[in-house]
Amino acid sequence: MLKLSIKAIQKRLLIIWFSILIVLALLPSSFMRETPLQFSLTIVLFFCYIVVFWISKRKWKPYQFELATVLLGTMSLFKGMFAGGEGFGMMLPLAVFIGFYIEGRRALAYASFFGTCTTLFLYCYDILTLPHIVPFILTYIGCYIGARGYRIQNEAYKTNQAHLKELQQAHTELQEAHSQLQEAALHSLQVAVLEERTRIARDIHDALGHSLTSLIVQLHALKYMLQDGPEHAQEAVRNMLSVAKQSLDEIRTSVHTLAMDKTSLGLTPLRALLSQAQKHTGIKMELLSSELDIPLSQELTITFYRILQEAVTNTLRHSNAKEIQVLIEQRENSLFLSIQDDGDITPQDQIKPGFGLTGIAERIKQLNGTLSYFAKEPHGFRLDVTLPLEHLEKEGGMRT
């Protein structure tokens, strides 16, 4: 069973309806002027056109279109010359078929050939007078141009639909890439936090842990040295030894918890980023904040992390800065981030926003924030970001 889309059926019905209108204008005249045999041939030819128009275009091969054109054109001419002049009217649906189904310049060649043959036969056989031939020729040309225009419009529609589908697919791929980028950023952020916490835990363990261990060893030695001393001195040593052991156990527990915690957000990943960048570049970097940490949502932490990452990258690329200073503070109705360096740029230099600054601006705009940047006196670059506190509260990232 032939499965056709509604769109395809509508297109073919439109062409068939157009052809039927043309043929129906001829059938009454054929019925009145032709013999029963001639009229029967007209009906057969009419249904041949209906069949070729109804068959799906996808079922045809290019050479089959041309073969059908030659057969239908020859049959129509033969009918007109030898079986009633009314058969020349069948050339009008032929013009529609040629205009819609034949490719490129070959369509014009076929239409011109059969149009010229029909005109010559009409004139030479005195079937129509010259004043009647001209309207017929104009109608023939109109049928061809109309069908050709419909074909071009249809092809343009298909092309636009294909482009639209490609754009939708590209949009979907971009959304997926954006999601993957966000996940990668979060993973990078979590790795940075984990590395920073591990470093802090190692430093605490190596410094304070070793010191307490040494203290415990010395207290043990002191305990044996005071075995024959006053009772209260031995008691004091036992108490100090107990406190030192308890402190060492607590530090080890805290260090283990600190090293294993992978979920914290806020300012910790920002400090980790600056710490790693300073380690690899030698540029002094510090983060200043009136609070030890500011709890942020995952989205805001990623946003601040990417902004800071982009700002540090721009500084490394475009200036000879020796220091980068980052300030984050929670104000009455907003959260403020300021990033500045001591690079070569001066107020007299023109700042042209590149891909980095444009990307930062887009991120801030999505959060309804504001962005400003300028060259500071006497030299260096400063970037200020302000995010409204209302948005942060809706995101659940801030607690006041």
> Domain coordinates of the chain in residue numbers?
6-128, 191-260, 268-395
Q: Quote the crossing angle between the two packed helices 6-33 and 130-204, to the nearest 10°.
A: 180
Q: How confident is the model at residue 383 (pLDDT cuts 50, 70, 90)?
A: very high
Could you tell me the pLDDT band of residue 6, with boundaries at 50, 70 and 90? low
pLDDT tier at 7, thresholds 50, 70, 90 = low
C-alpha–C-alpha distance, residues 314 and 275, integer Å: 17
The count of residues in the chain is: 400
Predicted local confidence at residue 133, as pLDDT: 79
Q: What is the three-class DSSP state of 93? A: helix
Q: Are 339 and 308 in contact, with CB atoms under 8 Å apart? A: yes
Residue 200: predicted pLDDT: 67
Match 């705009």 to its residue by tokens.
365
Among 37-41, 162-166, 169-173, 221-225, which stretch is predicted with the lowest mean pLDDT?
A: 221-225
**Could you tell me how far CA 112 lies from the centroid of its own chain?**
48
- pLDDT, greater one: 400 or 211: 211
Which of 212 and 304 is assigned the larger pLDDT?
304
At 347-362, the pLDDT tens digits run: 888 888 777 788 788 8
Q: Which long-range contacts (CB under 8 A, 24 or more apart) does 68-76 make?
A: 68/97, 68/101, 69/94, 69/97, 69/98, 69/101, 69/102, 69/110, 72/45, 72/48, 72/97, 73/110, 73/113, 73/114, 73/117, 75/45, 75/48, 76/45, 76/114
Neighbours of 54 (CB within 10 A): 13
The dihedrals phi and psi of 152, each to the nearest 5 degrees, come to -60, -40
Which pLDDT score, from 0 to 100, does residue 275 have? Answer: 84
Residue 1 has pLDDT above 60, yes or no: no
Are 103 and 62 in contact by the 8 Å Cβ rule? The answer is yes
| Average pLDDT value for residue range 322-339 | 89
pLDDT mean across residues, the chain: 75
Do residues 202 and 256 lie in contact, with contact meaning Cβ atoms separated by under 8 Å? Answer: no
Q: How confident is the model at residue 256 (pLDDT cuts 50, 70, 90)?
A: low
Task: Specify the pLDDT at position 23.
Answer: 62
Residue type, 135: P
- Whole-model pTM? 0.42
Say which amino acid occupies 284.
K
Quote the pLDDT of residue 398.
47
The CA-based angle 257-274-391, given to 5 degrees, is 80
Mean pLDDT throughout 3-31?
63
DSSP code of 335?
Answer: E
Q: Name the least confident of 169-173, 207-211, 258-262, 363-367.
A: 258-262
pLDDT at res. 151: 82
The string of pLDDT tens digits covering residues 78-101 is: 777 766 656 667 777 788 888 887
Instruction: Decide if pLDDT at 338 tops 80.
Output: yes
- H helices of the chain, in order, are 6-33, 36-54, 62-82, 91-101, 104-124, 130-204, 210-225, 231-260, 268-281, 298-318, 355-366, 389-395
Residue 4 pLDDT level (bands cut at 50, 70, 90): very low
CA-wise closest residue to 328 among 254, 266, 250: 266
Q: What are phi and psi of 309, to 5 degrees?
A: -60, -45
Handedness of CA 137, 138, 141, 142 (dihedral sign): negative
Q: What integer is the mean pLDDT of 258-283?
A: 73
Class for the domain spanning 268-395 = alpha beta
For residue 2, what pLDDT band results from cuts at 50, 70 and 90?
Answer: very low
Mean pLDDT over residues 153-171, rounded? Answer: 86
| The pair of three-digit structure tokens given for residue 384, joined into one six-digit string | 């200020």
Q: Is residue 30 within 8 Å of residue 86, measured between CB atoms?
A: yes
pLDDT at residue 400 above 50?
no
**For the residues 141-160, what does the mean pLDDT come to?**
85
* Residues 337 and 326 sit within 8 Å (Cβ to Cβ): yes
Given a cut of 60, whether residue 259 has pLDDT beyond it is: no
